[in-house]
Amino acid sequence: MSSPSDAKQPVKLRKGNRYEEFEPGQVFQHHWGRTINEGDNSLFTTLTLSYNPLYFNAEYARALGHPGTVVNPMLVFLTVFGLSVEDLSEAGGLFLGVDELSFWQPVYPGQTLTARSKVVEKHESGSRPDSGIVTWHTEGFNERGERVVDFHRTNFVAKKGVRP
């Protein structure tokens, strides 16, 4: 019989990468991917009060030449953004913004999105010596490898030896 003192203690795993681990030109192929379904699109569109009928009315969307409803582009953006978090910003640090957000083609329910990011720039922070500033260019693709969205985003990123 084992005693409570024999039990293994949980170990806190480090999340994400630190500032020193990013180099300009470095590419991250983010794993998993995410298939967006009708329910995801309906719920997101309703909760965000997006009243464009393209996102919830199949007949309307078909009348405009689409095969059915279009996935709300903000859901596409946020899904791709979310796919990148584990590799890029999960270690913590303030989010500084998104620039140059572009939507390249519609996404339809049932499509699977994947993402990759490239380190564009990094530099020391003048105001936070425990962090650096990193900018990435992230692209989202459908299951055919066609780019559907891209953007640049910037975060403070903790340096090695700093607790998040």
Distance CA 118, CA 52 (A): 33
State the pTM of this model. Answer: 0.87
Give the model confidence (pLDDT) of 57-115 as tens digits: 999 999 999 999 999 999 999 999 999 999 999 887 899 999 999 999 999 999 999 99
- Can you give the pLDDT at residue 160? 86
- Residue spans per domain, the chain: 18-36+72-158
- Can you give the pLDDT at residue 31? 87
Question: Among 110, 108, 132, which residue's Cα sits nearest to residue 122?
Answer: 132
Q: Is the pLDDT of residue 2 over 80?
A: no
| Cα-trace Rg, the chain | 20
Question: Among 137, 155, 157, which residue's Cα sits nearest to residue 147?
Answer: 137
Distance CA 99, CA 102 (A): 9
- Can you give the pLDDT at residue 163? 64
Q: Is the pLDDT of residue 148 over 70?
A: yes
CA distances from 12 to 15, 54, 62, 89 (A): 9, 44, 50, 17
CATH number, span 18-36+72-158: 3.10.129.10
What is the pLDDT confidence band of residue 16, given thresholds at 50, 70 and 90? confident
